[in-house]
Every structure is written in C-alpha cells, then in structure tokens.
A and B are shown apart, each in its own frame.
Chain A
Amino acid sequence: MKFLIIGGFLGSGKTSLLLQLIPYMRGQLGIEKTVILENEIGKTGIDDRVLSGAGYDVRGMFAGCVCCTMAGELTLTVQAIMQDMDPEWIIMEASGMAFPRNVKENLADTLGIDARICCLADAKRWPRLLKPMEHLLPLQLEEADTVLVNKTDLISDDALASVRESVAGFSSPETEIFPVSMNGRIDPRIFDRILGRNGS
C-alpha cells in the first residue's frame, strides 16, 4: 500500500487537487482502491462531503489536526483502513494547519509507512500570508517531494516568479516545484510526479 499526504495552508487548493488526481488514478492508471483520509480542523467536515459527493471513499478526522492533537488517532485510523479495506493507496488531505513532515514521521515510526508529501502553496496569497504565517507556511513545505504553486491564473508572470523563488527558498533542493492552476486541467506528468511515478 502507498500513502500520499497532501498538505498546504487553508484554502490553497488541496480538495481541488484531489478532484483531479483521483479520476486520473482511476482512469489512466487503473487504481480503483483509493481511500481518502480527510482531516479538518473544524468540528464538522466540509471537504469530505464534496469528495464523498463525487463518489469517492472518504474517511473523516475532524476537530483537530492530524499532525499533533490527533496523531494517535491517525495511527489507529490508518491501521483500521488497511485492515478493513486493503486499499492500493491512502491519500490524506491534511488540515490546512498541519505540518506534513510530522505526519510522515508519525506514519514511519508507528506503522513503517514511507509516505510521499505533496504540498500546495496559494500563489496569490503567498506574499501577504508569509509574514503573519511565518511559523507555519515555510515549515509546511519541509520534506515535500512535490510542491504545487497553485492559482497561477490569478497573478502576473513576475509575481509568480517571485512566489516560486520564495517557495524554492524554503524547500529542499530535491523538491520538485510545479506552477499550476486548479481552474484548468493539470498536466498528467505532474500527477505522475506527485505519485512518485516516472511517468510516460
């Protein structure tokens, strides 16, 4: 079983990514058994209903953050999913305040799972949020395999170049950074990189 953590700040486009990624996995890669693990900080779920309404298998973890206050519950929930459903992939949409690296370390330490991380950055809000969220945004990028700089359709080329440079400055040299707009179709080669596939 493979595990993907989708991280990134609140409203950066994580659910929108899933709404394109899962159909690609089903349609192009023939991966049918994927479970989405949805973590929201609010006491009621919003995004899980969007995803389950689209016909996907979704499990919810609400009213806390999966990288800290719900870390123990995460282990039990993933164990239960593996035991009961035996999926090919578990894709976690972390809360917008989670540090994906903490989740990755928890999964490795407790279950021996080597998870991939894809992190989203909101290109339009990045410059404005970076200062007030300086203890969150840069750290969310840690150990990401891929970073999607989203909402490129809403900013100029110069602004995008600046955001991309900023994101790269907080990322490791191995991290692959892709500018995208969830309002359009994502290049399938980016999906392959998110999933750790060499692609075609």
Chain B
Amino acid sequence: MTEHMHHHHHHEEDCCCEEHGGIHVSFHEGALIGTLAGHVHADSVDAAKEQLASAMTALAARINGTGGVIGHIKAIVSEEGRGWQISVTEEEAMARSLSPSAIHADCTVIVFAIEEDVLRAYMNDTIGALIRP
C-alpha cells in the first residue's frame, strides 16, 4: 500500500448508527464496533463473569463461523468493590480479576468482514440475553 493510499484510507469519517435494544454499532476504517452496557441478572459477580464469558465465546464462534474476523471482544463485569475483565480474541475467553445492587457490564465487540445486521443479531442472541440496558 502506498503512503497516499494509507492516508486516504485512514482519514475516512467514522459513522455511527442508532441503538437498537441497547446495542450500539459504529464503524471505523472497515471495523464494526459494537457496544452493549447494562445490568446482568446473576447471583454474584463471579457467576456473571462465567455467564458473560460463555456468551462472549458463543459470539466469537458465530463470528468466526460466518467468516468474520475478530479484532477483540472485551468486557468488564463489576459489582461494588470487585469485578472481572473478560477478553476473547479467538474462541476462548480469558478473565482477569479486578480490584475495584445490580451487577453492571460493559462489552465492546470489534470485528471485521461482517455485516452490521449480522453482528447485531449475534450480539443480541448471545451477550444481549445477559446484559439488559
């Protein structure tokens, strides 16, 4: 890629779309960025972590199965005082304990080569079943 092409490509305007069901999708340089934040109904933050990691793994499998490319699927699930960061780059979830009512979660999904409607549907079916805006 030439220098000119590089700069031209990388200065396109970002675009944002409206939220549906709490899922917000924006675009940046060929990537789709899906975000979903809200409360998780679970007995504990540890249980919420397990459920969300499972849902994120399911989302990753769907994206891979459709031929999409996962950039990063990451989330924080936290309760007063403690929580977890969850990260998926392929098909397995990694969790990292955090040192920081209802359990709150923020999830960001950055993917390539997938249609917006498909990403919304996948997010809705997986993490959307857990995180309520």
Contacts and interface: CB of A to CB of B under 8 A. Distances in A.
Contacts of A136: 29
Interface stretch (A85-93, A125-133, A157-165, A188-196): A125-133
Contacts of A122: 89
Nearest to A45: B106
Contact of B29 (A97, A124, A132): A97
Given A67-B10, A133-B69, A135-B1, A42 B110 contact: yes
Contacts of B42: none
Given A10-B110, A42-B108, A135-B6, A125 B24 contact: no
A46 B6 contact: no
B89 A44 contact: no
Contact of B35 (A44, A50, A69, A134): A44
Contacts of B20: none
Nearest to B90: A125
A44 B85 CA distance: 14
A135 B69 CA distance: 14
Contacts of B83: 53
Contact of A46 (B24, B76, B100): B76
A40 interface: yes
Contacts, number: 90
Given A42-B110, A44-B37, A44-B108, A11 B6 contact: no
A41 B10 CA distance: 14
A170 to B, nearest CB: 12
Interface residues of B, number: 36
Interface in B61-94: 69, 71-72, 74-76, 78, 83, 85, 87, 89-90
A133 B112 contact: yes
Contact of B89 (A41, A125, A133): A125
B33 to A, nearest CB: 5
Residue from B1, B13, B113 having most chain A Cβ neighbours under 10 A = B1
A139 B1 contact: yes
B43 interface: no
Contacts of B101: none
17 contacts: A9-B71, A10-B110, A11-B89, A40-B108, A41-B31, A43-B33, A44-B106, A46-B74, A46-B108, A47-B74, A49-B78, A49-B98, A49-B100, A53-B83, A96-B72, A97-B29, A122-B89
List 6 A-B pairs, minimum CB-CB distance, nearest first: A42-B108, A11-B89, A10-B71, A10-B72, A11-B72, A53-B100
